[in-house]
Each structure stands twice: as C-alpha cells, then as structure tokens.
Amino acid sequence: MKVLTKLALVSGAAAVAFAASAEARTLRLNHNNPPDHPLHASMQYMGERLSELTDGRWDIQVFPNGQLGNQRESMELVQSCALDMAKSNASELEAFAPAYSALNLPYLFVNEDHLFDVLTGDIGTEILDSSYDKGFQGIGFFVEGARSFYGNKPIYTPEDLQGMKIRVQPSPSAIRMVELLGGSPTPIAWGELYSALQQGVVDGAENNPTAMTTARHGEVAKHFSLDEHTMIPSAVVISNCAWDQMSDEDKAAFHEAAVDAAGFHREAWDKIVEQAMVDMQEQLGVEVNEVDKAPFVEAVQPMYEEITSKSPVIADLVERIQEEGKNYGGQ
C-alpha cells in the first residue's frame, strides 16, 4: 500500500513534468538527501550538462528529501518504470544487481584517487551496465568519502562494538561486516535514523562525516571514530523504459554529463567533508576518535573469500580493483 501511494504521487509528478514541456523530455530523479546536500547540487549540475549536451532534448527534475519514496521504494519504482531515475548507493544496489557488491568490501580502496579512477573507468562502466537485465541502467557514480562508526561511545577496536546495535543499510555486505566486527547489525531507513539514535533503538551507525552535520546526527551521537572501513559511492540509475527512448548519441551525452558531474561533485565534496569535521566538533561537541585500522582490516578478511566465491564475475572485479590499487600504494 505504501508503494502504491508513492506510485500515485510519482504518476502525478510525471503528468505535470511532461505537460510542462512538449519538446524537452523531463526525467524525474528522486533522492533521500536534503536540498542543501552536495549530492543534490551535483545531480542538478548533471541535469544542466545533459540539457546542454543534448541541445535541450532532455532535462532532469530533481526531487530531494525522498519526496517520491525512500531509496528502496525508488529503486522498485524505477524497475517498474513508474519513476525515471533514482539515486541510491552501491550498498543498497547490491540487492538489485550483485556486481555492485564488489564496491562494498571493507578496506578495498587504497584512497579516494583509487576509488574515483575505478568508478569513472572501465570497471565502473561494467558495474553500471550490469543491471540492465534487472530493469535499470546505471548512469554514473558520486564519491561519498569513507564511512566510519559513530554513536554513544568511542570505538577504538572491534571489541568496542560487542553488544552494540549498529544501524546499517539493508545490504548483505554491510550486515556481514558489522557481524564480523562484533556488533549487532540493525537495518533502519535513513529518514528514521535520527530518532532511532535519539531514543536508543540503536547504539550507533556508520556513515561519512556529513551525517553528523547535514543530517544533524551529531546532536544525538557524540563520538565519531575514524576507522574508515568502506568507501561506498552513490549511484544514479535510470529505468530501462526511459533509457531505451534515448538515441545512442543522447546516451553517450548522458554518460559524459555523469562523468562531468562526478568531477564537479568530488571537488565540492572534499571541501564539505573537511568543514564537517570541524563543525561536528566545534558546533555539536562531537569527539573525533583516532583508530588503529589494523584490527578492523583483519576482522573483515573473511568477507573477501565469501563474496568472491559466490561469483567469478565479482571475483574478477575485486581482483582488478586490487591490482589497480597497486598504482596508489596498495599491496
């Protein structure tokens, strides 16, 4: 019933969008971040570039704050062609297209340069293309930095996670990671997390530093521990119905717009994360805890064999990502 309600809202938005423009075809893109979030600005920039590169044949209307559904609902609507586009992330997308799970292994990427080059290169393209038979086409990735644990106490070692209920995304990789580190993984929708932290439904969560400021989680979680376990990117996807309406020329333009937006976003993101680290401490009184990552790296090693043994495709992607990592100082 909830999804049907969202479907009605999306259909109404579609009628308005297409009625407003007889020539330019407007794609509706839903995401769960507020309008002042850097991802929102980056998706708007992508829409502007798309319009420029296609001489106005296509444009994008961006809906923030999950107006057309939460991330999972949005993906289901995209698969059914009731919604044109959605922003999700590799963690949630692995439930829809397994190749995305290759990006979710803890401590896979050496640094952000390694991550960005993988996402905008051949490996990233293969992952984006892998979902077409699932009802949607990947368009591009946006970096969101490294994710760390935060909550009601400092987390210096995996032992500190023992007995803690940690909010995770509904992702097999995220759940398994927290299990191996000793915590109790608790899937909760992003929009419900603030109150869950406030009311003690969960003891902590894991995300990048902007969660403490943009989402104000620093008001209810006073310790941010820099274990930096994963670097999970956001991804923008489009329904096959909308994708198949585009000419090959316009599809190429869309990918170009996405790569341009990825660079635009990365530059803005790095500045915002740097400021978020300052603001969470000075404005919200959050204590940032430095962490020895070695015990965390060791604890999650079983995930590599578990994930790669399930699929030769995923095993190949992980091996190639690790091989590229050697160019950035990785082993």
pTM: 0.86
- Residue 243 lies inside a defined structural domain of this protein: yes
**Exposed/middle/buried for 175, CB within 10 Å: 0-12, 13-18, 19+?**
middle
- Residue 179 lies inside a defined structural domain of this protein: no
- The DSSP secondary-structure symbol of 26 reads E
- In this prediction, residue 22 carries a pLDDT of 42
Cβ-based neighbour number of residue 159 at 10 Å: 11
pLDDT in tens, 181-230: 999 999 998 889 999 999 999 999 999 999 999 899 999 999 999 999 99
- Residue 149 lies inside a defined structural domain of this protein: no
Rounded mean pLDDT of 85-113?
95
- Residue 302 lies inside a defined structural domain of this protein: no
CATH classification of the domain holding 252: 3.40.190.170
Cβ-based neighbour number of residue 22 at 10 Å: 7
Give the Cα separation of 83 and 173 in Å (integer). Answer: 27
- Residue 306 lies inside a defined structural domain of this protein: no
- Residue 19 lies inside a defined structural domain of this protein: yes
Query: Residue type for 2, please?
Result: K
How many domains does the chain fold into?
1
Domain of 43, in residue numbers: 2-97+135-140+235-273
- In this prediction, residue 209 carries a pLDDT of 96
- Residue 48 lies inside a defined structural domain of this protein: yes
Residue 2 has pLDDT above 70, yes or no: no
- Residue 106 lies inside a defined structural domain of this protein: no
Confidence tier at 23 by pLDDT (50, 70, 90): low
- In this prediction, residue 18 carries a pLDDT of 42
